[in-house]
Amino acid sequence: MSSPCYISGLGLHLPRTAMTNADLERMVDTSDEWIVTRTGITNRYFAQGDEPCSVLAFNAARKALDNAGLAPQDLTHIFVGTFSGDYNLPTTACLLQDMLGLKGLPAFDLAAACSGFLYCLETARAFTCLHPEARILVVGSEVCTSRVNFEDRTTCVLFGDGAGAAIVTGAANPGPVKVLDAMLKADGSVGGLLTIHGGGSACKPVLGQPVGPEYFVQMNGRDVFKYAVRCMAEVSETVLERNGLTADDVDLIIPHQANIRIIEAIAKKLDVGMDKVYVNVDRIGNTSAASIPIALTEAVATGRIQPGMKVLLSSFGGGFTWASALLQF
Ligand code: UT7
């Protein structure tokens, strides 16, 4: 029996530099027509040198705190989902803690690739059971472009940068959005289909040797596509079923924004119309762990989500990891 957990504030931040498909046509052998028909993406944002992961996270966090009517000093924990932190050490969560002027409170990064935000959300839900007074800053922040190979046209057109943040509170500080349920899944046996091996202890950097393609995202796109559709649909159905619901009972579905064809295939599997599915992949591209909190923040800010609505989130990413969460507004 879990105690209730709430979302008390949301915020997003995008880098200042927009990159259209026409911009990418000038960088790599691709075309607007290919990118739009295969992915639905027309634009994404690229972080510049003064916008590392921690800076994007900080800007999203400040907006989420303002949205919750809280000050940094009200926070009790900081969790950051990312695969593209500023450094290997210190963690982005520790950098963020310092930028917020805080000391002492626990702060860590969580590595679950594009599922990083939902993994952090469920971790926060568990922490609020232990600590009902908790006010946890949960951030998905990515500078995907720092780990993308701009000589590999099959991946570099897909990703963008950004951050989304939520303030997750326990029973002692109820917020306007209740987290009804969440489920996390993983399958390491197929992790080789989506990798960044370089820099790890099994693929060590060697002083003075150049950085090769293994230091960047390498992906079997077709296989990842199939797993993404199947896994996101399955975990969404399981979460709905165990709450006595069907997709008809949900007002909005927010899937990980990787590719419009993946999103449409999930809608088909769940037997819902696209009018019930939130899409911003066309404007923002795949921002990995930031994708869901950015979409959720937008959907609330634009009035797409109204009080009383049930919203289903689902994600899929490297590992493989996938997850779903059910929210009551
Ligand atoms: O966040 C989770 C992780 N990632 C994903 O969810 C991505 C999942 N996968 C996908 O979204 C799709 O598989 C892609 C969008 C990556 C690729 O779409 P596809 O329909 O599976 O294309 P493909 O890989 O089968 O490539 C088809 C053709 C190939 O040419 P040939 O061999 O048929 O002559 C590619 O070389 O398209 C070519 N191609 C490109 N052409 C122009 C691949 N990338 C590009 C490009 N521009 N950027």
Q: What is the DSSP string of 277-317?
A: B---HHHH-B-GGGHHHHHHHHHHHTTSS-TT-EEEEEEEE
Q: DSSP assignment, residue 215?
A: G
Q: Which tokens go with 142?
A: 């990515």
Helices and strands per DSSP (H, E), number in the chain: 10, 13
Whether CATH 3.30.2020.30 fits 179-328: no
If one counts every other C-beta atom within 10 angstroms of the C-beta of residue 87, the result is 12
Domains 6-175 and 179-328 share a fold: yes
Query: What ligand 1 atom has the least distance to the C-alpha of 261?
Result: 11
**Which residues surround ligand 1 with Cβ inside 6 Å?**
30, 34, 38-39, 114, 153-154, 157, 194, 221-222, 224-225, 228, 258-259, 262, 286, 316-317
Decide: 316 and 186 in contact? Cβ < 8 Å: no
Residue 220 CA, ligand 1 centroid: distance in Å: 9
Residue nearest to atom 14 of ligand 1 (CA): 221
Residue nearest to atom 30 of ligand 1 (CA): 154
3-state DSSP assignment of residue 47 = coil
Write the burial class of residue 91 (CB in 10 Å: 0-12 exposed, 13-18 middle, 19+ buried).
Answer: buried
Which residue from 19, 38, 156, 229 has its CB within 8 A of the most atoms of ligand 1, so it is best to mutate?
38
End-to-end Cα separation, the chain, in angstroms? 21
Going residue by residue through the chain (329 aa), what tens digit of pLDDT does each one get?
Answer: 567 899 999 999 999 999 999 999 999 999 999 999 999 999 999 999 999 999 999 999 999 999 999 999 999 999 999 999 999 999 999 999 999 999 999 999 999 999 999 999 999 999 999 999 999 999 999 999 999 999 999 999 999 999 999 999 999 999 999 999 999 999 999 999 999 999 999 999 999 999 999 999 999 999 999 999 999 999 999 999 999 999 999 999 999 999 999 999 999 999 999 999 999 999 999 999 999 999 999 999 999 999 999 999 999 999 999 999 999 99
Residue nearest to atom 9 of ligand 1 (CA): 221
Residue range 6-175 forms a domain whose CATH class is: alpha beta
Query: What ligand 1 atom has the least distance to the C-alpha of 259?
Result: 11
50: Cα separation from own chain's centroid: 21
Residue 7 CA, ligand 1 centroid: distance in Å: 36
Residue 225 CA, ligand 1 centroid: distance in Å: 10
Residue nearest to atom 43 of ligand 1 (CA): 154
Residue 155 CA, ligand 1 centroid: distance in Å: 8
Residue nearest to atom 39 of ligand 1 (CA): 154
How many angstroms separate the Cα of 287 from the Cα of each of 147, 180, 190?
12, 25, 22
Residue 217 CA, ligand 1 centroid: distance in Å: 14
- The confidence score (pLDDT) of residue 3 equals 75
Rg for the chain, CA atoms, rounded: 19
- The confidence score (pLDDT) of residue 4 equals 81
Query: What ligand 1 atom has the least distance to the C-alpha of 291?
Result: 1
- The confidence score (pLDDT) of residue 318 equals 98
- The confidence score (pLDDT) of residue 2 equals 65
Residue recorded with tokens 């780990």: 147
Residues designated as active site: 114, 256, 286
Which residue from 154, 158, 262 has its CB within 8 A of the most atoms of ligand 1, so it is best to mutate?
154
**Domain locations in the chain as residue ranges:** 6-175, 179-328
Residue 49 CA, ligand 1 centroid: distance in Å: 28
- The confidence score (pLDDT) of residue 254 equals 98
- Residue among 120, 127, 123, 128 at smallest CA distance from 82: 120
Model confidence, pTM: 0.97
